[in-house]
Amino acid sequence: MAELISGKIVSEKLRSELRDEIAEFKLQCGRCPGLAVIVVGSDPASKVYVRNKHKACLDVGIESYQIEYPDGISEEELLLKIDELNADTKINGILVQLPLPNNISEKKVIERISPDKDVDAFHPANVGRITIGNYSFLPCTPSGIISLLDYYGVQISGKNCAVIGRSNIVGKPMALLLTERNGTVTLCHSKTQKLKEITLNSDIIVVAIGKAEFLTADMVKPGAVVIDVGINRNDEGKLVGDVKFDEVSQVASMITPVPGGVGPMTITTLLKNTLLAAKIQNK
């Protein structure tokens, strides 16, 4: 039976360190780091994510500014708000909850956020910096996964790593970060052929595709480390990942659960990035 990689435990440890560092920042600078989170429309999932981010900020001492707009807001109005936040010294990090309504270009919105306040690390300037290994911020989910692997002493160097899913927010940066740690990475996607051959040859498998219980035990090399990013509802309405946990946990040496694995690390890394942004801006 695989050892559980607990995002809850690692996240709580990191948050306790963050509380101390933020208290120290407050002593030195006379104010808390500030994070602005913009949410547009009434998507219930987005609202839950934003509420959780707000609670997490309060938990560690970050000032959280929640800005809510109805579905009808124009792109121009949103861009002007971002300009205002870029210029506001109380705000160190800006995050726009995605997806946005169709009338608003996500690309324009992401590019309008000052790269210094881009705590999601989605701005092309930050993405470019990650590619060449000269970055301040790392995207929250892949960076949180590296923290998990480090905490549990998983060696990445020299290992075969399969990343399934090539989104800009998870798969691609995950492949870059594993490469930076000297993993030998195969980045897989929906057009990948003989996926099972690749996963069976992998020591570390990260699955981020959004397909309930996609990775099955017959695809996993005995002893592999399996990281499940997916968040899905199965036919019974239960929250499940992209990995068939019950059977893969019989084959893997370590595995993340859903919930309680990658999810808490994503938010905690956002808090870490906000403090880092505040420190950089305060220099």
Minimum Å gap between C-beta 56 and ligand NDP is 12
Nearer CB in complex with ligand NDP: 91/212 = 212
Minimum Å gap between C-beta 78 and ligand NDP is 21
Nearer CB in complex with ligand NDP: 81/269 = 269
Give catalytic status of residue 238 as yes or no.
no
| Active-site annotation holder among 97, 172, 244, 272 | 97
Q: Which amino acid is at 63?
A: E
Please state at what angle helix 44-60 crosses helix 262-282, rounded to 10 degrees. 60
Task: Report the residue count for the chain.
Answer: 283
Nearer CB in complex with ligand NDP: 85/225 = 225
Q: Which amino acid is at 41?
A: G
Nearer CB in complex with ligand NDP: 12/84 = 12
Give catalytic status of residue 97 as yes or no.
yes
| Active-site annotation holder among 120, 203, 228, 242 | 120
Contact 165, 207 (CB under 8 A): yes
Give residues in contact with ligand NDP (CB under 6 A). 141, 164-167, 169-171, 188-192, 208-211, 229-232, 262-263, 266
Q: Is 27 left (phi over 0), alpha (psi -120 to 50) or beta?
A: alpha
Minimum Å gap between C-beta 165 and ligand NDP is 4
Omega cis (within 30) before 259: yes
Q: How far apart are CA 141 and CA 168, in angstroms?
A: 11
Catalytic residues: 53, 97, 120
